[in-house]
Structures are given as C-alpha cells and as structure tokens.
C-alpha cells in the first residue's frame, strides 16, 4: 500500500500541476470514497474555488484552497493522475500498474475538472481511498520525514509496545508502513519485537538515522518497493548484508521479516 514516499510523490504532482487553476466541476458521486458527504456536497463547496497549497503529513494529504480544505487519502492502491489539455497524464502515488493504459479511467473515484479543461483524478482500483472536506489531520503524529531526534525519542519512550508496532502507530509517527518499518529496523540492526522501553539511547539514535535514510532513499528511487530489504522478505530470502536466512513472524499485527543474526 502507499507509504510516505508514495504519498509524497502524489503530493508533488498536486503541487506542480493542480494549484492556481479555478475548479469548474467536481465528480464526487462515489458515496463510499467521499463519505460522510452526500453526492454534490464537495462539488458545491469547491466549484469556483482555487487550490492554493498541497500538504502532507505521513500518509495523509490535504489541499488548501480559497474555500474549504480538501483532504485526500490514497488508501491501499490509490494514485493521483493529472490529465493535461492534450490528454497526457502524470501520476503519483502507489506504484501499481495492473495493466492500466493511459486514458483508462475506469477506476476513477473522484475528479476535479479545472477551467482550462485539465483534470485531476483519484484512481483507486480497490476503492479504499478517501476524499473529505476539512480532514482531522491534527490527530496525526510528527511526519516521519521531518521528525526531530527529540520528537523521535519521545515517540519511542511511552509504554512497552514492540518497536515495530510503535513505528507503525500513526498517532506516534506518521507515514511509516510495513515495508518501511522492516527496512528501518534492518538498517538499525534492531529486532522488531524489542519493547520500546528496553531500547538503549544508541539504538534509538540508530533507528532515527535509519528512518531518515530509508525515507529519503525510497522517495528518490520511486517508492518503498525499491528498498534493499524488500526482495529478501520471502521464503528463502537472505539478509542482503550477511546472507543469513531471513525469519518471519507477526509483530504488531503485521507480517514481519528480519535477520536473526544481525537483529537478535
């Protein structure tokens, strides 16, 4: 599913293409994706306004406008697609292809049409994305890309949850998903089941450095699927550093892979 790097790529598309274009029409007829709004409510609120800024915290995005704030969540398979006047498309978000050809908009769940004829689409095959006005982003924790060492130590200092579960807690740290968490723990050589209250200061500092490295690497390379530990997350997979067979378990409710030699 989209994690912080994929959502950042979608935000960048919004920032580059969707701002400062008057909104002429809105298709908000998908009652599931646009809940709790009734059909036409988002349209009535946005037509005639202009988007002014594209923001992200963790996996959530929102667009400031000359009217209400527009929140967009990609769900598990969503991507943002901008279609220009000639029909050329630029997308950002999840890296799935699923055989989708340009111009194939059958999975579009929400769209904006701008006054110049360009369009912005939320394309989401699994229909798990979300569009809403004035989203409650204040409940999210610090963004995983920008979190300071002090904020990170505070996020890991409460309770005795497994460290992987805490990394996945969006109210503690916004943006980390399953693949990113496994990469961070592997880079830092920390076992995913270690209770957060048992971590040393050196381990917490290593985790913070690993988080910054993993996030920036995934953003630069096109998504969390490019992270170095991902190909090893399978039966028969080996640690990319020491070639020990990777081990699998469920931690924090998620399938987890780690190196038993380097992450004891």
Task: Tell whether 73 and 146 lie within a shared domain.
Answer: no
pLDDT at position 21 is 97
Q: Is 225 exposed, middle or buried (0-12, 13-18, 19+ CB in 10 A)?
A: middle
Residue 264 lies in a domain: no
In what order do the strands lie in the sheet containing 130-133?
Answer: 51-57, 60-65, 70-73, 130-133
Q: Does the structure show a pLDDT above 90 at 103?
A: no
Q: What are phi and psi of 132, to 5 degrees?
A: -155, 160
To the nearest 10°, report the CA torsion of 152, 63, 125, 172.
Answer: 20
Residue 90 lies in a domain: yes
CA-to-CA distance for 64 and 98, rounded, in angstroms?
32
Task: Tell whether 159 and 77 lie within a shared domain.
Answer: no
**97 falls in which pLDDT band (50, 70, 90)?**
low
Task: Tell whether 111 and 146 lie within a shared domain.
Answer: no
Least confident of 30-34, 111-115, 154-158: 154-158
Task: Tell whether 9 and 97 lie within a shared domain.
Answer: yes
Task: Decide if 164 contacts 132 (C-beta within 8 A).
Answer: no
- Examine the fold and report which residue of 114, 138, 162 is the final residue of a domain before the chain moves on: 138
Q: Does the structure show a pLDDT above 60 at 98?
A: no
Give me the CATH number covering residue 15.
Answer: 3.20.190.10
pLDDT digits (tens, 9 = 90+) for 183-239: 999 999 999 999 999 999 999 999 999 999 999 999 999 899 999 999 999 999 999
C-alpha distances (whole Å) from 64 to each of 19, 78, 235 are 9, 20, 45
Tokens of 249: 């378990």
Task: Decide if 51 contacts 23 (C-beta within 8 A).
Answer: yes
Mean pLDDT of 19-30: 98
Task: Tell whether 133 and 149 lie within a shared domain.
Answer: no
The DSSP 8-state label assigned to residue 69 in this structure reads -
Task: Tell whether 94 and 21 lie within a shared domain.
Answer: yes
Tokens of 193: 């089941």
Residue-wise burial string across 73-106, b where 16 or more C-beta atoms lie within 10 A, e elsewhere:
bbbebbbbbbbeeeeeeebbbbbbeeebeeeeee
Record the pTM. Answer: 0.90
Q: Does the structure show a pLDDT above 80 at 104?
A: no
Residue 254 lies in a domain: yes
CA-to-CA distance for 255 and 131, rounded, in angstroms?
28
Residue 221 lies in a domain: yes
pLDDT digits (tens, 9 = 90+) for 227-249: 999 999 999 999 999 999 999 99
pLDDT at position 158 is 87
**139 falls in which pLDDT band (50, 70, 90)?**
confident
Task: Tell whether 94 and 177 lie within a shared domain.
Answer: no
Residue linked to tokens 């997979």: 237
Residue 263 lies in a domain: no
**Residues contacting 2, CB < 8 A, separation 6+:** 10, 59, 74, 75, 76, 77, 78, 79, 93, 94, 177
Task: Tell whether 248 and 180 lie within a shared domain.
Answer: yes
- Examine the fold and report which residue of 90, 110, 138 is the final residue of a domain before the chain moves on: 138
Task: Decide if 69 contacts 134 (C-beta within 8 A).
Answer: yes
Task: Tell whether 58 and 111 lie within a shared domain.
Answer: yes
Give me the CATH number covering residue 153.
Answer: 1.10.8.50
Number of domain units in the chain: 2
Task: Decide if 4 contacts 173 (C-beta within 8 A).
Answer: no
Which residues are identified as catalytic?
2-3, 59, 254
Residue 72 lies in a domain: yes
C-alpha distances (whole Å) from 54 to each of 9, 12, 60, 152, 191 are 11, 8, 11, 25, 36
* 3-state class percentages of the chain: helix first, strand second, coil last, to nearest 5: 30, 25, 45
Task: Tell whether 8 and 128 lie within a shared domain.
Answer: yes
What domain range includes position 126?
A: 4-138
pLDDT at position 101 is 66
pLDDT at position 94 is 76
Tokens of 242: 């020491």
Task: Tell whether 74 and 158 lie within a shared domain.
Answer: no
Residue 110 lies in a domain: yes
- Examine the fold and report which residue of 138, 153, 177 is the final residue of a domain before the chain moves on: 138
Tokens of 138: 């204040």
Task: Tell whether 95 and 169 lie within a shared domain.
Answer: no
pLDDT at position 1 is 64
Residue 63 lies in a domain: yes
């Amino acid at each position: 599913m989209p994690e912080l790097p994929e959502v950042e790529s979608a935000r960048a598309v919004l920032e580059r293409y969707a701002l400062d274009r008057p909104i002429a029409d809105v298709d908000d007829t998908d009652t599931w994706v646009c809940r709790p709004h009734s059909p036409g409510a988002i349209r009535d609120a946005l037509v005639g306004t202009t988007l002014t800024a594209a923001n992200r915290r963790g996996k959530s995005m929102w667009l400031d406008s000359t009217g209400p704030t527009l929140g967009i969540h990609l769900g598990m398979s969503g991507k943002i697609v901008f279609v220009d006047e000639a029909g050329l498309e630029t997308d950002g978000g999840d890296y799935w292809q699923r055989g989708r050809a340009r111009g194939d908009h059958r999975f579009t769940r929400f769209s904006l049409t701008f006054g110049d004829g360009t369009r912005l689409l939320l394309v989401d095959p699994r229909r798990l994305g979300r569009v809403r006005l004035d989203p409650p982003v204040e409940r999210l924790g610090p963004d995983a890309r920008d979190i300071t060492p002090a904020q990170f130590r505070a996020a890991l200092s409460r309770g005795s949850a497994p460290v992987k579960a805490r990394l996945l807690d969006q109210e503690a740290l916004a943006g980390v998903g399953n693949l990113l968490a496994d990469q961070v723990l592997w880079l830092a050589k920390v076992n995913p089941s270690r209770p957060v209250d048992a971590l040393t200061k050196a381990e917490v500092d290593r985790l913070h450095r690993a988080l910054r490295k993993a996030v920036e690497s995934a953003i630069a390379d096109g998504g969390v699927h490019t992270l170095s530990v991902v190909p090893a997350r399978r039966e028969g997979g080996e640690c990319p550093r020491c070639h020990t067979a990777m081990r699998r378990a469920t931690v924090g409710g998620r399938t987890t892979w780690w190196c038993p030699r380097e992450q004891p």
